[in-house]
Amino acid sequence: MAGVTRDDMLADFRTAIEKARAQGTGFKEFQKDFDAIVDRTGWLFNARGSTDGERRAWRARIIYTTNMRTSYMAGRYKQLTDPDVLKYRPYWQYVHSGALHPRLQHLAWDGKVWAATDPIWDSIYPPNGWGCGCDVEALSRREMQALGKDAPDEAPELVKYEGIDPRTGEKEERISGIDRGWEYNVGKEWLDGVVPTELRDPLPPYGPDVPAPANLPDLPEPTVAKSRDLMPEGLEPKAYVEGFLKRFDLKKGEGPFRDKSGGLITISKSLFEQRMPDGTVVGLKSDKRGRGQYAKLLADAIIAPDEIWIDWAAVRSGVVLRRAYLKRVVLPDGRQLFVRFEWTSKGWVAVTGFDTKEDYLRAYRRGALLYRRPE
């Protein structure tokens, strides 16, 4: 669901799609759920249409058909890869949807036959884009030969090019003919699980009494900071915020940032704003306890962390997932600084200190390890 960035909204859509998929309630029922979510959240989505009703119907149908088609093709992959099916039908044929305005690359693949085990299917198993209705048909050797083929076709060389992540502005590799974000096998991902390996086992309960994981390796060796990595003491809070933001080199000075584990967090001045209950900004919390001089190092903990962990955290409204960035730095004066930046959908907390003993650090290394800096 492109454009959905809030966890709670995504969860609502996930529930609506699951109801449609599992109960077969159809598009009209999903559209009612779509309208309720939009009305409740105020989501401003991109869509076609001259009226609000037309725009809602267009976007709801895109979400519905995309997810239903993806679910169908994932189930089809499971059928096609059944050992008994593979034994008698070890070849797959790419079948174009017959769309009136076809993608030329998809049309070029139409009728091609490759072994079911050919790595090409990791990239082009359909759907291969928004609205793609292409399919796969399993063939026996006799059926392949009936097409005039003595052997599978030669796998095509995928044309790759450099694109830009529209949310972060970072460069990324794309494949010609495949929409951004669709260059994967939906069925294989479903069977393997889209959850990161580290999170496939349940996370432990949350709370201060939960011990850190056993057999933890030592943190990577501390990074040596240069004098320019520290800011002068006694600056205005605004200056420390600017120093933090400039470290990310974002085009507009703030925006989405993709971390080393692939996660997105929003970097902006609002991270440091102190607000009244009514939302009024009353100050900046960028120099609490005189730690403003480490603003750049706080940013570095997010940009180039030693480790990234994820665990549960209790907040007033319930329980949320917490992403934590850890980094040790050797300061110019020889002292070691430990930085931990904790991020949740409800807010963030920064921890800095000079106690870098392993016993102390263990308390901050809990949950599931998403990333570890290579040494």
Q: What is the DSSP string of 303-365?
A: HS-SEEEEEEEEETTEEEEEEEEEEEEE-TTS-EEEEEEEEETTEEEEEEES---HHHHHTT-
Whether the pLDDT of residue 293 is over 50: the answer is yes
Do residue 3 and residue 139 come from a single domain?
no
Whether the pLDDT of residue 286 is over 80: the answer is no
How far lies 241's CA from each of 229, 252, 289, 360, in Å? 14, 15, 15, 28
* Gap between the Cα atoms of 175 and 182, Å rounded: 9
Model confidence over 12-45: pLDDT tens digits?
777 788 888 888 888 999 899 989 988 887 777 8
Helix (H, G, I), strand (E, B) or coil at 22: helix
How many domains does one find in the chain? Answer: 3
Whether the pLDDT of residue 218 is over 90: the answer is no
Do residue 150 and residue 295 come from a single domain?
no
Q: 147, 166, 194: which is the final residue of a domain?
A: 194
Do residue 127 and residue 206 come from a single domain?
no
How do 135-139 and 273-275 pair as beta strands?
unpaired
Tell me what the mean pLDDT of segment 156-166 comes to. 87
Lowest mean pLDDT, pick from 3-12, 72-81, 208-217, 263-272: 3-12
Do residue 180 and residue 207 come from a single domain?
no
Do residue 236 and residue 159 come from a single domain?
no
* Gap between the Cα atoms of 167 and 4, Å rounded: 12
Contact (CB, 8 A) for 231 and 243: yes
pLDDT at 361: 84
Local structure of residue 72 (DSSP, 8 states): H
Whether the pLDDT of residue 216 is over 90: the answer is no
Confidence band for 198, pLDDT divided at 50, 70 and 90:
very low
Local structure of residue 96 (DSSP, 8 states): -
Whether the pLDDT of residue 197 is over 70: the answer is no
Q: Which residue has the tokens 């449609």?
A: 20
Q: Which domain holds residue 215?
A: 198-372
Of 299, 293, 284, give the one whose Cα is nearest residue 248: 299
Lowest mean pLDDT, pick from 209-218, 222-231, 288-297: 209-218
Cis preceding-peptide flag for 119 (omega within 30 of 0): no
pLDDT at 208: 57
Q: 194, 228, 244: which is the final residue of a domain?
A: 194
Q: Which residues are registered as beta bridge partners of 344? A: 347
Do residue 3 and residue 123 come from a single domain?
no
Do residue 12 and residue 159 come from a single domain?
no
Do residue 262 and residue 131 come from a single domain?
no
Do residue 37 and residue 61 come from a single domain?
yes
Tell me what the mean pLDDT of segment 75-80 comes to. 93
How far lies 355's CA from each of 151, 163, 358, 360, 365, in Å? 66, 43, 9, 7, 14
Phi, psi of 81 (to 5 degrees): -95, 5
| Structural tokens at position 145 | 């030969």
Distance of CA 283 to the CA centre of its chain: 32
Outline where the chain has alpha helix (H). Answer: 7-23, 26-41, 52-80, 83-88, 104-109, 121-124, 141-146, 186-192, 237-246, 295-303, 358-362
Do residue 340 and residue 228 come from a single domain?
yes
Do residue 52 and residue 103 come from a single domain?
no
Q: 178, 194, 210: which is the final residue of a domain?
A: 194
* Gap between the Cα atoms of 242 and 186, Å rounded: 42
Do residue 262 and residue 335 come from a single domain?
yes
Whether the pLDDT of residue 213 is over 70: the answer is no
| Structural tokens at position 254 | 């703030």
